[in-house]
Amino acid sequence: MSEETTSPPPPAPDARAWQLLRAALELPAAERAAFAAQACAGDAALRAELDALLARDGDADSLLDAPLDPQRWLGVPAHDAGIGSVVGPYRIVAELGSGGMGSVYRAERIGGVARHHVALKVIKRGMDSGEIQARFVRERDILAQLKHPHIARLIDGGVSDTGQAWFAMELIDGEPIGAWCDARRLPLAARIALFLDVCAAVQYAHRNLVVHRDLKPGNVLVSGEGEVKLLDFGIAKLLTDSRDGAHTGSQLRLLTPEYAAPEQFRGEPVTTATDVYQLGLMLFALLSGRRAPRAGDNTGAAPMPRLAAALASARRAGEAPVETIAAARSTSLRALQRALRGDLARIVAKALADDPARRYDSAGDFADDLRRWLDGRPVLARPDSVAYRVRRFVARHTAGVAAATLAALSLIGASVYSADQAYRARQQAQRAEAVREFLVGVFANADPDENKGQPLSAHQLLEKGEAQLARDAGGDAAVAADLTGLIGSLYQKLGDFTRAKELLERAATMAGDAAIPAAIKARNANELARLELVQYKFDDAMSHAREALALAQAAGPGAAKENREARRMIASALIGEGKVKDGLPLLREVSAEEQQPGVDAGANLIDDDSLLCEAYEFDEQTEAAIAACHAAIDVATAQHRENTWGVSLVYNRLGTMLQRMGRYPESEAALREALRLREQLHGADHSGTVVVRSNLMRLYEVQGRHAETLQGRIDLVALARKNREARPGELGYALLLLGDVYDALGRLDDAEATLRESLAVWTELMGANNGKGTERAGVLRFLGENLQHQGRYDEAETAFRDAIAFAAAQKDSSLLAAEAALSHADLGNLLRLRHRYDAALAEFALIAPAPANGKNVSTRMTQIAAYQAEAELDAGHVAAAQASATQAVAFARQAYHGRTPRVTPALFARARAELAAGHPVEAEALLRETLALRSPPHPAEDLRVLEVQVELARALAARGERDAAKALAGATATLLAQNKTAYAADLRQRLADVR
């Protein structure tokens, strides 16, 4: 047929006739003729028109109707199970209906003894019949054995001649449960009793490990005698089953979206809880006559469906008016609304919980609670109690926060307010009560609905607290100050430093108010100091901590805790500035006090050990520091606080120390533990987590695996930029470390830009901090080295001298002493490269000897000795060079275990010395090792690689391997030619002997 060239379409039907047709179709068929006659009285043309249309209604029946099969239009034969056709051992007698899966027919058994009719479900084309059949064979026994008075039995199944799967089921003569109940005007209790039968059936099936998956009202029939029958049990499973129980794309299509449970949408595995959900929907409709609002509906109802509210809400399509609904339940509207509140609503709500884990575990449990309701007993479904929410909040979030919160709550119980007389005691009790109430109120007001059923985050709770506080501003000043400080400190624990600072500073301004107890002021001052420490503002921290101490002392023994805390803050500030000698004793003093019996220091013990560890580390007493770390972990474990922030702190320190000691596998293990804890507590972007991420990368970089960390470093810089205001130190570090990676990878320009930016950041930060802090020196050194690699010797020299000067100005820091020493060594090396050998040697002479602690070999000694050796060598003092180089290698071997490029300066120096001393064989071995360690990370044309190759060529030549030597020399020379720096020229010169 050529559909493109058809006759023009007939004109649209006559408008009046059409209207009449519309009306006529509302009437039963028998009455239409009469209606037509009446309506068209006198107008024969109209009548004819109408009749024609009505006739067409009859014709159209056969044409477009169910089952709709567009595939027919594609030239594919329709499924042709019509009346009389044979499907398996059955003959179709009548059509009962059609649905998503296919059509249902009444069929009789061919050659059966009695007229035994079944319901025959023929599955649409488009399903993979073979697979369905295979599953049916597997499941048939289970399904056929589902013998329950309320379950329509599955009798048989197969594949028809037309290739369609079919199932024969017990034929049920009945009405859908909703209609059945309405027709008999069953009251609520009776409906529930009927529903219990449904639950029993589902429970029975669940016990046989069969989940229905498609429990819609149409699938629950009630016979004339009041017998409930569930249809299609297990059919959905057969049609959709997959090995792991989760839905894949093709299986989703069978779901009836209107009745699908939330997890079915998400493609998660279907469980008995899914059936519970669908039962919940069914009950909702049975009780309220309304469909349960689903998430996303524009009804304005909360996602948690409320039974009573459903009655109050606007009527939707197909729903009866509320009076009808009440009548269908043999009750009044008011009584109905009353009944639908309270426990019944809670039961339904529990069944309809979005999270499957929060529903009833089984249909049986569901039924039990309904029975309780019928009996008037208390039900299990209960609204979220305050206690439950508090528990949930605490469990979800960092134990640190929880501890702080609980500590706050318990603090209120303890006598934080200066103990005085009965009056004060009463006042304090009142305040304590007020604060406690406030906090509890914050939790209690945390309506889970507010956040679409998701629990509120700690941050959100704090925001609520803050808002609440603002509203209640007029109240008790002491309480307000207390709460402001408390919320501020909690924000800090969550890492939101901006908010924390705001609140803590506000709390500090309240300090002028005499009504506020000194202890509270002290505590707030301490918290502010703590925040400032994190932000490297040591001076501010110090002054606030001193203030806190003064206040605490004034407050007397009641503020002992604040007193210790203030001293701890002071100690931390001192240590942060590098004044370890001053800070350490103070810290030990506080720690000792806290270990007294009767003193409840709690988590502070961990902090103390942790701080001690930090102090020891600064002081380079590494073993002591490690011991302190382990002590901290032990204490934490004993207090069941092993998954806390404090412990992650310890692991992080441990990891970095171990790395500095060259114990890489242990370091990685510790750092990964720290990372795990922090990610778990605060997520990947939290400042603390970032620190550990960075440390792990550092560990890799120490091993020369810079290529692996580059992207991670770039990511951290981006993150640090984003957080620059709140976490200023982070950007400085991130840039420094990125610059180091660029440099190692030979991207010298990128390195320089990055390092300069880092320097700017540190300078700005320290400018605000009166120039204290050790990082700037380090950056200057790195920058100097980078400039030196680029051959910009003047600028490099300036940088090194700056570093030296800066370090010299900070006399009392042992860490800066290390920086100073290294800077001298760097400068000496540079001078050597500039051929100013005497100046170079003089520089090395300036370096103060390291602390005479032979056990802990400082890594810096490796570097210093190596550079010194080369300087001596180039100055012509071969013997001295040998000695220095040997020492360097000895230091290196002790300081580093495992493969790391950091030993290479020592190895290289030694190699050169040996070669100069006439030992080419030893030199060669060392050079090969050096080369292997330097490349990667350095690229092939990097001078740090080429210098080794030059020596190697010379060594080979010295050993008499002229060919190998020449080949290597040639290759090296080619690469050297591209490099315009002075050092490259020097190296070419050295190659000249070989070529």
Q: Which residues are catalytically annotated?
A: 214
Q: Is 60 in the site for another protein (CB under 8 A)?
A: yes
The least distance separating another protein from the CB of residue 218, rounded to whole angstroms, comes to: 9
Could you give the angle at the alpha carbon of 281 between the alpha carbons of 279 and 285, nearest 5°? 115
Using alpha carbons, list the distances in angstroms from residue 408 to 466, 483, 499, 705.
16, 10, 19, 46
Helix (H, G, I), strand (E, B) or coil at 826: helix
The nearer residue to another protein, 254 or 380, going by C-beta atoms, is: 254
Q: Is 53 in the site for another protein (CB under 8 A)?
A: yes
Alpha-helix residue ranges (DSSP H) falling in 876-959: 878-895, 904-916, 920-934, 943-959
Judged by CB under 8 A, the number of residues near another protein is 62
Single-letter amino acid code for the residue at 116: H
Q: Is 317 in the site for another protein (CB under 8 A)?
A: yes
Question: Which one among 5, 38, 298, 421 touches another protein, defined by CB under 8 A?
Answer: 298
The least distance separating another protein from the CB of residue 179, rounded to whole angstroms, comes to: 12
Scanning 58-66, 763-771, 862-870, 954-962 for contacts with another protein by CB under 8 A, the matching segment is 58-66
Q: Is 26 in the site for another protein (CB under 8 A)?
A: yes
Question: Which one among 141, 244, 258, 375 touches another protein, defined by CB under 8 A?
Answer: 258
Scanning 53-61, 421-429, 494-502, 685-693 for contacts with another protein by CB under 8 A, the matching segment is 53-61
DSSP secondary structure, 692-741, as one string:
HHHHHHHHHHHTT-HHHHHHHHHHHHHHHHHTTTT-HHHHHHHHHHHHHH
- d(Cα 978, Cα 878) in Å, to the nearest integer? 31
Footprint of another protein on 139-168 (CB under 8 A) = 163
What letter does residue 127 receive in the DSSP assignment?
A: B
The least distance separating another protein from the CB of residue 118, rounded to whole angstroms, comes to: 24
Footprint of another protein on 500-529 (CB under 8 A) = none
Q: Is 225 in the site for another protein (CB under 8 A)?
A: no
DSSP-assigned beta bridge partners for residue 327: none
In angstroms, how far is CA 967 from the centroid of its own chain? 55
Instruction: Check: CB of residue 645 under 8 Å from CB of residue 495.
Output: no
The least distance separating another protein from the CB of residue 329, rounded to whole angstroms, comes to: 21
Scanning 295-303, 523-531, 675-683, 772-780 for contacts with another protein by CB under 8 A, the matching segment is 295-303
The least distance separating another protein from the CB of residue 298, rounded to whole angstroms, comes to: 5
Question: Which one among 41, 44, 73, 514 touches another protein, defined by CB under 8 A?
Answer: 73
Which one, of 344, 360, 349, lies nearest residue 187 by Cα?
Answer: 344
The least distance separating another protein from the CB of residue 307, rounded to whole angstroms, comes to: 19
The nearer residue to another protein, 144 or 295, going by C-beta atoms, is: 295
Sheet of strand 165-170, all strands in order from the earlier edge strand to the far edge = 86-87, 90-98, 102-109, 117-123, 165-170, 154-159
Kindly report the backbone phi and psi dihedral angles of residue 417, in degrees, each rounded to the nearest multiple of 5, phi listed first.
-80, 145
CB atoms within 10 A of CB 536: 22
Q: Is 449 in the site for another protein (CB under 8 A)?
A: no
Helix (H, G, I), strand (E, B) or coil at 472: coil
Q: Is 255 in the site for another protein (CB under 8 A)?
A: yes
Instruction: Check: CB of residue 957 under 8 Å from CB of residue 993.
Output: yes
The nearer residue to another protein, 231 or 551, going by C-beta atoms, is: 231
- d(Cα 602, Cα 956) in Å, to the nearest integer? 66
Q: Is the peptide bond before 89 cis (omega within 30 degrees of 0)?
A: no
Question: Which one among 84, 249, 767, 849 touches another protein, defined by CB under 8 A?
Answer: 249
- Residue 121, H or E segment: strand 117-123
Question: Which one among 91, 153, 294, 801 touches another protein, defined by CB under 8 A?
Answer: 294
Distance between start and end Cα atoms, the chain: 90
Q: Is 10 in the site for another protein (CB under 8 A)?
A: yes
Scanning 114-122, 311-319, 322-330, 691-699 for contacts with another protein by CB under 8 A, the matching segment is 311-319
Q: Is 12 in the site for another protein (CB under 8 A)?
A: yes
In angstroms, how far is CA 174 from the centroid of its own chain? 51
Could you give the angle at the alpha carbon of 375 between the alpha carbons of 370 and 381, nearest 5°? 40
Q: Is 63 in the site for another protein (CB under 8 A)?
A: yes
Q: Is 811 in the site for another protein (CB under 8 A)?
A: no
Q: Is 7 in the site for another protein (CB under 8 A)?
A: yes
Footprint of another protein on 260-289 (CB under 8 A) = 260, 262, 264-266
The nearer residue to another protein, 235 or 911, going by C-beta atoms, is: 235
Question: Which one among 93, 295, 333, 917 touches another protein, defined by CB under 8 A?
Answer: 295
Footprint of another protein on 877-916 (CB under 8 A) = none
Scanning 244-252, 467-475, 781-789, 804-812 for contacts with another protein by CB under 8 A, the matching segment is 244-252
The nearer residue to another protein, 53 or 719, going by C-beta atoms, is: 53
Question: Which one among 138, 185, 316, 811 touches another protein, defined by CB under 8 A?
Answer: 316
Could you give the angle at the alpha carbon of 948 between the alpha carbons of 946 and 951, nearest 5°? 110
Q: Is 220 in the site for another protein (CB under 8 A)?
A: no
Q: Is 21 in the site for another protein (CB under 8 A)?
A: yes
- Residue 122, H or E segment: strand 117-123
Q: Is 5 in the site for another protein (CB under 8 A)?
A: no
The nearer residue to another protein, 78 or 971, going by C-beta atoms, is: 78
Footprint of another protein on 926-945 (CB under 8 A) = none
Token match 């985050």: residue? 457
Q: Is 71 in the site for another protein (CB under 8 A)?
A: yes
Question: Which one among 242, 250, 509, 637 touches another protein, defined by CB under 8 A?
Answer: 250
Tokens encoding 604:
């502070």
Single-letter amino acid code for the residue at 343: D
Scanning 29-37, 54-62, 624-632, 693-701 for contacts with another protein by CB under 8 A, the matching segment is 54-62
- d(Cα 151, Cα 207) in Å, to the nearest integer? 14
364-367 CB contacts, 8 Å cutoff, 24+ apart:
364/199, 364/203, 364/206, 366/199, 366/276, 366/279, 366/280, 367/196, 367/199, 367/200, 367/203
The least distance separating another protein from the CB of residue 352, rounded to whole angstroms, comes to: 13
What letter does residue 27 receive in the DSSP assignment?
A: S
The least distance separating another protein from the CB of residue 300, rounded to whole angstroms, comes to: 11
The least distance separating another protein from the CB of residue 182, rounded to whole angstroms, comes to: 15
Scanning 35-43, 49-57, 588-596, 919-927 for contacts with another protein by CB under 8 A, the matching segment is 49-57
- d(Cα 665, Cα 543) in Å, to the nearest integer? 42
Q: Is 48 in the site for another protein (CB under 8 A)?
A: no
Alpha-helix residue ranges (DSSP H) falling in 223-379: 235-240, 249-252, 262-265, 272-288, 307-312, 322-328, 333-339, 342-351, 363-375
Scanning 5-13, 108-116, 455-463, 556-564 for contacts with another protein by CB under 8 A, the matching segment is 5-13
CB atoms within 10 A of CB 429: 14
Q: Is 30 in the site for another protein (CB under 8 A)?
A: no
Footprint of another protein on 111-140 (CB under 8 A) = 124-126, 128
The least distance separating another protein from the CB of residue 851, rounded to whole angstroms, comes to: 59
Q: Is the peptide bond before 557 cis (omega within 30 degrees of 0)?
A: no
The nearer residue to another protein, 111 or 296, going by C-beta atoms, is: 296
Q: Is 99 in the site for another protein (CB under 8 A)?
A: yes
Instruction: Check: CB of residue 153 under 8 Å from CB of residue 147.
Output: yes
Residues in contact with another protein by CB under 8 A are 1, 3-4, 6-7, 9-10, 12-13, 18, 21-22, 25-26, 52-53, 56-57, 59-61, 63-65, 68, 70-77, 99-100, 124-126, 128, 163, 249-250, 252-255, 257-258, 260, 262, 264-266, 291, 294-298, 316-318
